[in-house]
Structure 1
Amino acid sequence: MSLIKRSDWPLLGNGSWLSNFFDNDRFFDSDLLKKQSLPAVNVKENEKSFDIEVAAPGLNKKDFSITAENGVLTISSEKEEEREEKEKDYTRKEFSYSAFSRSFALPENANEDDIKANYEDGILKLSIAKKVIGPVKTKRAIEVK
């Protein structure tokens, strides 16, 4: 009797999850681990402004960088955290790093000079005031003297 290596089993064949995990470190090159997570964004327009809400829990106000230049609004964040625990018999050191960047093309009537930002309860809220484009014709009464 001879042993035959079977590669047609669903969990053990080439390209399977288990095969990718155990063979040649292909698991760590998978698309699953390469995906960058971006926070969810809501954009609303009303008469006076454009309102943007970014879901970014666990961050502080100082973690954000917001710029507006040449009609592009960029919201980015970087956070690095490091913890170290020392006991008699061991030392444990953990660190984490997270970052994201989102850019938005601003419409012509967005006023880049009038943007307000507020971060509360894990939600970054931006309000971009609208500006009037072109001549506005308003009705006015003319008094006869």
Structure 2
Amino acid sequence: MVLRPTASTWRQNLDMPAQLFGDRGSDDYELYEEDDEFVLTIDMPGFEIDEIDLAWDDGVLNVAAEHVDEDRGRKKTYHRRFRFPKNIAEDEISAEYTNGVLEVSLPTADPGTRGMEIPLEGE
């Protein structure tokens, strides 16, 4: 009799990073939509506000942070990208970092007219 791994354990024997499948760090952030905005909260303890970089580029929020503990000779890094399915009012994005928690508010924008009309030729 051949035992086959169950669906939840089939990856255990593979030599692949768990982050490819979304397992790593999946509990360090929460993203939800309320009213007319997305709210993203990320647990980032141990970082100072000036060690965190946020950037918005074409529908993607990039969060990066780096902390060097010179006493221990260690470096802590964080990097994650979040893609948003709706138009975001780029000039209204705001962020706050308090007690090790980063909160980013991303108001949705009126989608307006997307694309352009294509003229149809023929008889």
Query: What TM-score comes out, normalization by structure 2 length?
Result: 0.67
CA contact (8 A) 1:69 1:112 kept: no
| Higher CA-based Rg | 1
Aligned length: 93
Map of 1:68 onto structure 2? 56
8 Å CA contact 1:118, 1:125 repeated in 2: yes
Q: What secondary structure sits across from 2:50 in the alignment?
A: helix
Task: Indicate the RMSD between aligned Cα atoms, in angstroms.
Answer: 2.1
Give the counterpart of 1:124 among 88, 91, 102: 102
1:71 and 1:112 in contact (8 A); partners too: no
Question: Deviation string for 1:109-131 (max 9, x for gaps)?
Answer: 22222211101111100000111
Q: TM-score, normalised by structure 1?
A: 0.57
Which residue, 70, 76, 89 being the options, matches 1:111? 89
What's the CA shift for 1:35?
7.4
> In the aligned structure 2, how far is the partner of 1:68 from the partner of 1:112?
8
Q: How many Å separate the matches in 1 of 2:59 and 2:91?
A: 11
Q: Deviations over 1:28-58 (max 9, x none)?
A: xxx7xx8786471100101121000000111
Q: Runs in 1 of length 4+ with deviation above 4 angstroms?
A: 34-37
1:47 pairs with 2:50: no
Percentage identity across aligned positions?
A: 26
Q: Which letter does structure 2 place at the counterpart of 1:72?
A: V
Query: Which runs of no fewer than 5 residues in structure 1 stay unpaired?
Result: 1-30, 84-93, 136-145
Greater fraction strand: 1
